[in-house]
Amino acid sequence: MLPEKIKSAWINKNGPIALSTVSKEGKPNTIYASCVALHESNKILIADNFFNKTKENIKNNSAGSVLFITKDEKAYQLKGKLNYFTDGEFFDNMKQWNPERLPGHGVATLSIEEIYHGADKIL
């Protein structure tokens, strides 16, 4: 279960998130993503509207991190395992909130394993 502090921070997030992945060669890749949701299963869902390297990295078993900032300027980093789906529960969920004008090719999920607020480890 995610701490209530993190759920509240997510509700209070400001702007897009930064999603970081790593290639199989160890090269980092970071993108901004604005079509995101916190799923009740304690996963972050990120709509694949324009992934390229990101999707390739996820399919090569990349771990990842999501960085977001709240409206009161507090930063949080969530780390964990990434997966990618083009059908099923997470994909269907994404299709409900992803804007219709965007393609929503798939959805990446970050299974939250660690949470940081600055240098403080929360989970």
Distance CA 16, CA 32 (A): 6
Backbone angles phi, psi at 27, to 5 degrees: -85, 125
What totals of helices (H) and strands (E) does the chain contain, helices first? 3, 8
Above pLDDT 70, what percent of the chain?
A: 100
pLDDT for 1 equals: 84
Contact predicate 79/57, CB 8 Å: no
- Residue ranges per structural domain of the chain: 4-121
pLDDT for 23 equals: 96
Contact predicate 67/44, CB 8 Å: no
Q: What's the mean pLDDT in 70-86?
A: 98
> Is this model's pTM higher than 0.75 or not?
yes
CA distances from 12 to 57, 68, 69, 111 (A): 29, 10, 8, 20
Contact predicate 78/5, CB 8 Å: no
Q: CB-based burial of residue 11 (10 Å sphere; 0-12 exposed, 13-18 middle, 19+ buried)? A: exposed
Q: CATH number of the domain at 4-121, please?
A: 2.30.110.10
pLDDT for 41 equals: 83
